[in-house]
Amino acid sequence: MVNQQIISLCQHGKQNGQRQLYEACAPYVYSTIKRYIWEVEDIKDTMQEVFANIFSHIDTYDASKGNFNTWIRKIAINQALMLIRKNKKISHLVPLDSIEEIPFGAADKYENLSREDIDKLLAKVPEGYRVVFTLFVIDGYHHKEIAALLDIKEETSRSQLARAKKWICHHLFNDQKNKAYGLF
Amino acid sequence: MDSFDKKVADLYNKNQTPDQLPEGFVWDEMSKGIYEKMESPNRKRKPLFWWLTFGGFILLVSVPGIFFIQKSNNIAPNQTTETSLPTIKEKSTFSSDKPIAEATQIGKEPSATATLQNTHPYISNNKISNKSIVLNNKKTKTLYQESKPIHVIELRDIMDLTTIESESIISTSSPETSVSGAEDFPESVNTKKSENTFATSVPASTTKTVVPSTLPLRWVTMSSDKIIAPNILLPKEKPTDTPSKIAIKFTPKVYGGTLLTTGKYTENQERNTYSRWSPGYYTGIDFTILAYKKWTLNLGYEHKFATQVLELNNIVDTVVITVENALTSITTNSLNGTTSENRETITTNGTRTRNYLHYNTFRSHALRLTLNRTFPLTPKWHLTTGFGGTYNFLNQARGTTLDLDGNKLEYSPDMPIYLKRNFAIDAGLSLEYKIGRIKLSGNLWLEKSLSFGLEPETSIQPTFYKIGVGAAFTL
């Protein structure tokens, strides 16, 4: 846990404080980034960027606006999205007319769902889906925020989420009717 | 947020300890990178694969191009001096109505009719006899200049000589033909056995090889077999298509045509029953970058487009049917005859049958490297076979959203799915027709892909049959 003393040391540019902050927050930052980026080298690079940003801008952290973990999580997510945007075009995604709900009868099937199951699926899911799904479902962003982060329309964010959930449900529950989905 | 979302959010956010840091993420190893990034926050990031791929491609294409351009600039002034003068002599026609003895009477009759056109200053100083010496750079054979009463030396300018090709003609046709200039440089005229076309009634078995008298001796000499001249006048060997050493070339070729695709899913074979390919197209440009004898190495870019039709009929969905205010019973009072209706909301499971018809598109952007061997059939027609590899570096699939009833399905038609990159093996042949520097070709190529797909169960190894035409231009 990061206390005010560590933050204060970092604000004064003390390397000892930066080390303590890194050791306290690195697992959390790593977990956050790993939801968006899968390549180890990219994760490493992004983590370095995140902590470089944290150390450079820790003066601007205002405890009254939220806890420290929330602040660094935002930085981590922004940095991860920056890398994704750089590697892939997300802005070409287009809206859907309707949103697919979870398949009928599926609700009782995810009672035993584990985080590993989701992790495995997220490793396979197309990147555009994964980013929106993770932002919305796991990190609790709203579509308006996602649209701003990814520079897409709000409807596009909704449609991406719908496709992501459809994709995940298809693979979780092997829904027969979804077999025609997509190519390859 | 529905219950599924809540379940997933809880899995990640409630009572979950963060992941353990893997090796290489400890402070001692990360701190250097962090401080470097703090010092140069706007530094350029490491090159991405995309840029590496295209950078390498552009480099491979541009270096030979620049090399060629520089080389061609250097040789441009002499580029027309490509045909060797010996060939002029070898295929030249000498004709005369007079015996050789007369024909060799040099300069006996000064000419009043001799014409010299566009004469170079060097030439104008030389004597021109009234004997006909016609030197053309015609590319079609004209063996006998019989119709010309006046003997003309057509030397449009000094450089004309340099464009003489193997079918040029040197002929004399006057009844009083003689060759002038020999007085000035008698050693330049030899009598020899001629293998040339002989279009006159000259009985002698020997004839003259004629050299334009206008050329100063220091430029032109004649031996029994060859006419030798300095490079400035005389053509050099023309570059051939079959260099004896490995040569850097830059021959772009654009091509395109119809793409026929076959391929079956191996893991999930059920998909094969409702998947079929329809014809697409391919187009590309490639560059001959190296040549050795009849072998060439080509590097190029290719774009492929194909359509895969997914068709499923009689898909049965289970749906919940709710009927509100449904009449469930009618009660009749037997005493007074009044009836009352019982209505309620009924919920039941039902089925819905649907048909899917998806036209899904597939696009691929690829780099091709092929080794080709040319077999000349005739001077104009060549057959080229090739073998090589294709690296499909960007593969994209899109699904459309119409069902048989024309209704839009629930997902986007335009959102592409990026498939993994893959390699393919290429083999094929081209029949080429050469027109000057342009080669037109009909192409038949086969590309066997190693693997496409997002995951094993939907991966496929399509074979692409490419039937098309192309045009290459040798710079």
The tens digit of pLDDT for each residue in A29-65 reads 998 888 888 788 888 889 998 999 888 888 888 777 7
B389, part of any domain: yes
**Looking at the structure, do residues B71 and B185 belong to the same domain, yes or no?**
no
**Looking at the structure, do residues B397 and B265 belong to the same domain, yes or no?**
yes
Paired strand residues for B449: B424
**Looking at the structure, do residues B266 and B407 belong to the same domain, yes or no?**
yes
Domain of B375, CATH number, reads 2.40.160.20
> How close, in Å, is residue A159 to chain B by CA atoms?
8
Higher pLDDT, B204 or A132: A132
**Which residue positions in chain B have pLDDT lower than 50?**
41, 43-47, 75-240, 401-406, 408, 410-411
| A4-87: CATH class | mainly alpha
- Of residues A87, A127, A183, nearest to B48 (C-beta): A87
> By CA distance, what is A115's nearest residue in B?
B11
Domain that holds residue B273: 247-314+356-473
Which chain B residues touch A14 with a CB distance below 8 Å? Answer: none
Residue A150 pLDDT: 81
| Pure H helices in B158-309 | 270-274
**Looking at the structure, do residues B360 and B372 belong to the same domain, yes or no?**
yes
**Looking at the structure, do residues B418 and B442 belong to the same domain, yes or no?**
yes
CB within 8 Å of A174: residues ≥ 6 apart: none
**Looking at the structure, do residues B74 and B184 belong to the same domain, yes or no?**
no
B9, part of any domain: no
CB-based contact B320 A165, cutoff 8 Å: no
Residue B93 pLDDT: 42
**Looking at the structure, do residues B301 and B166 belong to the same domain, yes or no?**
no
> By CA distance, what is B33's nearest residue in A?
A48
**Looking at the structure, do residues B124 and B255 belong to the same domain, yes or no?**
no
> How close, in Å, is residue A64 to chain B by CA atoms?
22
**Looking at the structure, do residues B448 and B397 belong to the same domain, yes or no?**
yes
A93 touches chain B (CB under 8 A): yes
Higher pLDDT, B407 or A97: B407
A123 touches chain B (CB under 8 A): no
Residue A16 pLDDT: 86
- Of residues B5, B399, B412, nearest to A96 (C-beta): B412
Q: Distance between CA atoms of B366 and A65, rounded to whole angstroms?
A: 51
Q: Tell me the residues of chain A between 38 and 67 that have a Cβ less than 8 Å away from chain B.
A: 40, 44-45, 47-49, 51-52, 55-56
- Of residues B410, B417, B460, nearest to A100 (C-beta): B410
A105 touches chain B (CB under 8 A): yes
Cβ(B289)–Cβ(B64) below 8 Å? yes
B211, part of any domain: yes
B182, part of any domain: yes
Residue B144 pLDDT: 41
Reference B199, options B155, B136, B147, B152; nearest CA is B147
The tens digit of pLDDT for each residue in A167-177 reads 777 777 654 33
> How close, in Å, is residue B473 to chain A by CA atoms?
36
A19 touches chain B (CB under 8 A): yes
Q: Distance between CA atoms of B401 and B403, rounded to whole angstroms?
A: 7
Under DSSP, the state recorded for B200 is: S
Strands B247-262 and B463-473, bridge-based pairing: antiparallel
- Of residues A31, A159, A184, nearest to B460 (C-beta): A184
Q: Distance between CA atoms of B380 and B444, rounded to whole angstroms?
A: 19
Q: Distance between CA atoms of A100 and A81, rounded to whole angstroms?
A: 25
**Looking at the structure, do residues B61 and B96 belong to the same domain, yes or no?**
no
How many cross-chain Cβ pairs, A to B, lie less than 8 Å apart? 170
Q: Quote the tokens at residue B129.
A: 């006899």
Which chain B residues touch A98 with a CB distance below 8 Å? Answer: 410
- Of residues B308, B415, B453, nearest to A93 (C-beta): B415
Residue B73 pLDDT: 53
Strands B247-262 and B227-228, bridge-based pairing: unpaired
Domain count, chain B: 3
Residue B243 pLDDT: 62
CB-based contact B18 A163, cutoff 8 Å: no
A130 touches chain B (CB under 8 A): no
- Of residues A51, A137, A163, nearest to B8 (C-beta): A137
Domains of chain A by residue range: 4-87, 107-178
A118 touches chain B (CB under 8 A): yes
B333, part of any domain: no
**Looking at the structure, do residues B395 and B302 belong to the same domain, yes or no?**
yes
Q: Distance between CA atoms of B332 and B343, rounded to whole angstroms?
A: 15
B346, part of any domain: no
Q: Distance between CA atoms of A162 and B328, rounded to whole angstroms?
A: 38
What's CA B82's distance to the chain center, in Å? 26
Which chain B residues touch A160 with a CB distance below 8 Å? Answer: 415
CB-based contact A94 B412, cutoff 8 Å: yes
Q: Distance between CA atoms of A153 and A130, rounded to whole angstroms?
A: 17
**Looking at the structure, do residues B254 and B165 belong to the same domain, yes or no?**
no
Compute the average pLDDT of residues A118-147. Answer: 83
Cβ(B413)–Cβ(B358) below 8 Å? no
CB-based contact A183 B21, cutoff 8 Å: no
Interface test with B, best of A153, A166, A183 (most B CBs within 10 A): A183
B330, part of any domain: no
Residue B131 pLDDT: 42
B366, part of any domain: yes
Q: Distance between CA atoms of B170 and B142, rounded to whole angstroms?
A: 10
Q: Into which CATH architecture does domain A107-178 fall? A: Orthogonal Bundle (1.10)
Interface test with A, best of B3, B14, B38, B455 (most A CBs within 10 A): B38
Cβ(A99)–Cβ(A162) below 8 Å? yes
> How close, in Å, is residue A119 to chain B by CA atoms?
10
Residue A88 pLDDT: 60
Domain limit, last residue, from B238, B266, B288: B238
- Give the ipTM: 0.74
